[in-house]
């Protein structure tokens, strides 16, 4: 299916790995390494947050409930109160948690790229709805386009440490919500064979886009067999009120067998409480409301507990994605979803900085480290994002890939056994060569235990100056240029692509 899957940047590493006979399991990092060594909340903390969420659902419930949810929730024992709010008794929610899918496979268009959401398995990927792109050519902000989305997908397709691609930018030239939904799905699918995430404004677009996926995959019903697209469904207007059209999209997504990221994105101090614990409890309540609705409609439907509890800079009320408050809150969100046995998806890697500078770097480093080690099954927004999700940068995406690799290396952790404790090797060296540089063990572990950055530089100051004294953004810029010139994924066949272009209002120029 792939006519050309050149991966300019990762190629050297890949060739090296292959030369060393390194299968996927022997590489220093891979998708789905086990996190969970960082536990920001105690058992008692989690129980209290969970009890608060259940209390909120039972007594305050969700505003603006749609008929489909009212029907199943009241049939299960819920009710609608005098304010028109749908109340979820504790046992109804607990039953939904029991029936919910505890693990599922998010397929890639290329099956080798599929990832399994389970336990504390960690995956990093993109997401967002940035309206600005930091333009590759001139490094200024402009509105994002379908071409940008496709280019970001193509870039992500070449980056080993980005495991899934949910759309990071809005296709702003789309004339209406239908054109937007169709083109968002299309450009993402065409640009990468990795698992894809997209979103929908209207339920009818869900059905239409699945028709498109079926064509791409070779025929009617193919998508439902191997759904490679997960819907990012922002079903809630916090606090505790359904976004009606998104909730209706959710019902459609259940019907077509599309996995759903149940996405609650309150913002502490603005649309959720200022104390982080309350913000977490509210987000959990909201996600559980959706999980209950979905599982009553279709028990075991693949879902992500998409707790995206954002925080505000309380001086201005604006979102701060790169703060310490955000870092610990997202990590706690992952921990509590996993504690309930449910697949978790949280945001990290959002930077408040507007450009790929040291601020962006350390904001990403801190937030990604904690979300990953908390065991988030899906770390969303983890590459490319700037300006607290308002902007995306292709160069940042490439730089972040290095960070994600290093973070993954830390999640892999330290294997402790007789071989790695190396008592005999130490004795060899103490009584022999005096150093470990040429030792057989050192050479053996060079590709298995140690990961090397792609655009990160480790030269001495002199060598670095001789090589031009470039910043990592400069080096990433060169990588982006190379990939955008050469990498044209062909997993969607020309025939299928032609048919899609005949039937749908595709904005993107055709492939070369």
Pair type for strands 86-87 and 229-233: unpaired
Task: Select the residue interacting with a copy of itself from 145, 192, 234, 272 (CB under 8 A).
Answer: 272
Residues 281-300 that bind a copy of itself (CB under 8 A): 281-282
Buried b (16+ CB within 10 A) or exposed e, 73-82: beebebeeee
| C-alpha distance from residue 486 to each of 8, 138, 161, 388, 500 (Å) | 8, 20, 20, 31, 23
**Site for a copy of itself contains 432 (CB under 8 A):** no
**Site for a copy of itself contains 480 (CB under 8 A):** no
Cβ of residue 334: shortest distance to a copy of itself, in angstroms?
Answer: 13
**Site for a copy of itself contains 127 (CB under 8 A):** no
Cβ of residue 152: shortest distance to a copy of itself, in angstroms?
Answer: 17
Residues 175-214 that bind a copy of itself (CB under 8 A): none
Task: Select the residue interacting with a copy of itself from 409, 481, 499, 511 (CB under 8 A).
Answer: 409
Cβ of residue 125: shortest distance to a copy of itself, in angstroms?
Answer: 17
Task: Select the residue interacting with a copy of itself from 13, 33, 56, 350 (CB under 8 A).
Answer: 56
What is the distance between the alpha carbons of residues 99 and 106, in angstroms, rounded to a whole number? 19
Task: Select the residue interacting with a copy of itself from 77, 221, 299, 413 (CB under 8 A).
Answer: 413
Cβ of residue 372: shortest distance to a copy of itself, in angstroms?
Answer: 9
Tell the burial category of 489 from Cβ atoms under 10 Å away from its Cβ (0-12, 13-18, 19+).
Answer: buried
For a copy of itself, which is the closer residue by CB, 252 or 454? 454
Contact 271, 317 (CB under 8 A): no
**Site for a copy of itself contains 144 (CB under 8 A):** no
**Site for a copy of itself contains 269 (CB under 8 A):** yes
Cβ of residue 408: shortest distance to a copy of itself, in angstroms?
Answer: 7
For a copy of itself, what does the binding mask look like between residues 148 and 167, x meaning CB under 8 A? --------------------
Q: Which residues contact 39 (CB under 8 A, 6 or more apart)?
A: 335, 374
**Site for a copy of itself contains 342 (CB under 8 A):** no
| C-alpha distance from residue 500 to each of 30, 199, 213 (Å) | 34, 19, 9
What is the distance between the alpha carbons of residues 455 and 470, in angstroms, rounded to a whole number? 11
For a copy of itself, which is the closer residue by CB, 107 or 163? 163
For a copy of itself, which is the closer residue by CB, 463 or 498? 463
DSSP result, 204-250: HHHHHHHHHHHHHHTSTTHHHHS--EEEEE--B-SSSBB-HHHHHHH
**Site for a copy of itself contains 422 (CB under 8 A):** yes
**Site for a copy of itself contains 502 (CB under 8 A):** no
**Site for a copy of itself contains 255 (CB under 8 A):** no
**Site for a copy of itself contains 356 (CB under 8 A):** yes
What is the distance between the alpha carbons of residues 505 and 510, in angstroms, rounded to a whole number? 13
Q: Which residues contact 61 (CB under 8 A, 6 or more apart)?
A: 78, 81, 85, 86, 87, 88, 240, 289
For a copy of itself, which is the closer residue by CB, 99 or 471? 471
The length of the chain, given as a count of residues: 512
**Site for a copy of itself contains 384 (CB under 8 A):** no
Contact 89, 59 (CB under 8 A): no
Q: Where are the alpha helices (DSSP H) in 220-341?
A: 222-225, 244-256, 276-297, 324-339
Residues 74-113 that bind a copy of itself (CB under 8 A): 83
**Site for a copy of itself contains 138 (CB under 8 A):** no
| C-alpha distance from residue 387 to each of 133, 370, 472 (Å) | 11, 20, 19
For a copy of itself, what does the binding mask look like between residues 3 and 42, x meaning CB under 8 A? ----------------------------------xxxxx-
**Site for a copy of itself contains 451 (CB under 8 A):** yes
Contact segment (CB under 8 A) with a copy of itself among 104-112, 242-250, 313-321, 495-503 equals 313-321
**Site for a copy of itself contains 249 (CB under 8 A):** no
Contact 231, 198 (CB under 8 A): yes
What is the distance between the alpha carbons of residues 99 and 476, in angstroms, rounded to a whole number? 45
**Site for a copy of itself contains 461 (CB under 8 A):** yes
For a copy of itself, which is the closer residue by CB, 196 or 403? 403
| C-alpha distance from residue 104 to each of 144, 229, 260, 291, 301 (Å) | 32, 13, 11, 15, 9
For a copy of itself, which is the closer residue by CB, 189 or 337? 337
**Site for a copy of itself contains 173 (CB under 8 A):** no
**Site for a copy of itself contains 125 (CB under 8 A):** no
For a copy of itself, which is the closer residue by CB, 155 or 249? 155
Chain-centre distance of CA 207, in angstroms? 24
Query: How many alpha carbons fall within 13 Å on the CB side of residue 32?
Result: 13
Contact segment (CB under 8 A) with a copy of itself among 66-74, 184-192, 295-303, 323-331 equals 323-331
Contact 346, 307 (CB under 8 A): yes
Task: Select the residue interacting with a copy of itself from 405, 487, 504, 507 (CB under 8 A).
Answer: 405
């Amino acid at each position: 299916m792939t006519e050309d899957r050149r991966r300019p940047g990762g190629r050297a590493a890949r060739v090296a790995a292959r030369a060393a006979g390194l299968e996927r399991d022997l590489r220093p990092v891979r998708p789905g390494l086990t996190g969970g060594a960082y536990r920001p909340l105690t058992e008692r903390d989690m129980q209290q947050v969970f009890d608060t969420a259940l209390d909120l659902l039972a007594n305050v419930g969700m505003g603006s409930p749609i008929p489909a949810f009212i029907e199943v929730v009241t049939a299960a024992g819920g009710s609608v109160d005098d304010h028109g709010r749908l109340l979820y008794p504790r046992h109804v929610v607990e039953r939904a948690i029991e029936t919910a899918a505890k693990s599922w496979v998010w397929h890639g268009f290329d099956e080798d790229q599929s990832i399994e959401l389970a336990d504390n398995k960690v995956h990093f990927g993109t997401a967002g709805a940035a309206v600005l792109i930091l333009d590759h050519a001139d490094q200024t902000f402009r509105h994002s386009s379908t071409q940008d989305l496709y280019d970001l997908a193509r870039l992500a397709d070449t980056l080993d440490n980005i495991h899934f691609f949910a759309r990071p930018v809005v296709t702003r030239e789309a004339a209406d919500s239908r054109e937007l939904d169709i083109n968002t799905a299309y450009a993402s699918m065409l640009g990468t064979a990795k698992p894809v995430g997209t979103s929908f404004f209207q339920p009818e677009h869900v059905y239409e886009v699945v028709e498109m996926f079926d064509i791409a995959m070779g025929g009617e019903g193919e998508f439902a067999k191997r759904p490679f697209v997960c819907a990012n469904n922002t079903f809630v207007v916090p606090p505790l009120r359904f976004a009606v059209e998104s909730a209706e999209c959710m019902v459609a997504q259940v019907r077509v067998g599309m996995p759903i990221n149940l996405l609650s994105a309150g913002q502490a101090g603005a649309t959720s409480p200022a104390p982080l614990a309350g913000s977490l409890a509210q987000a959990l309540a909201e996600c559980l409301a959706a999980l209950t609705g979905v599982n009553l409609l279709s028990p075991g439907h693949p879902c992500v507990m998409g707790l995206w509890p954002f925080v505000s800079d309380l001086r201005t009320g604006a979102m701060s994605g790169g703060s310490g408050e955000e870092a610990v809150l997202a990590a706690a969100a992952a921990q509590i979803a996993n504690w309930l046995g449910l697949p978790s998806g949280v945001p990290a890697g959002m930077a408040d900085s507007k450009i790929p500078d040291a601020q962006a770097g350390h904001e990403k480093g801190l937030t990604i480290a904690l979300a990953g080690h908390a065991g988030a099954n899906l770390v969303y927004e983890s590459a490319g994002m700037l300006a607290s999700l308002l902007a995306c940068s292709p160069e940042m995406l490439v730089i972040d890939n290095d960070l994600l690799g290093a973070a993954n290396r830390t999640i892999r952790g330290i294997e402790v056994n007789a071989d790695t404790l190396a008592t005999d090797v130490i004795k060899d060296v103490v009584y022999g060569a005096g150093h470990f540089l040429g030792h057989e063990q050192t050479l053996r572990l060079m590709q298995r235990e140690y990961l090397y950055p792609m655009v990160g530089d480790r030269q001495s100051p002199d060598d670095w100056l001789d090589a031009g004294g470039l910043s990592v953004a400069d080096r990433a810029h060169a990588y982006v240029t190379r990939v955008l010139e050469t990498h044209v994924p062909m997993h969607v066949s020309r025939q299928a692509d032609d048919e899609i272009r005949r039937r749908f209002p595709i904005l993107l120029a055709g492939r070369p």
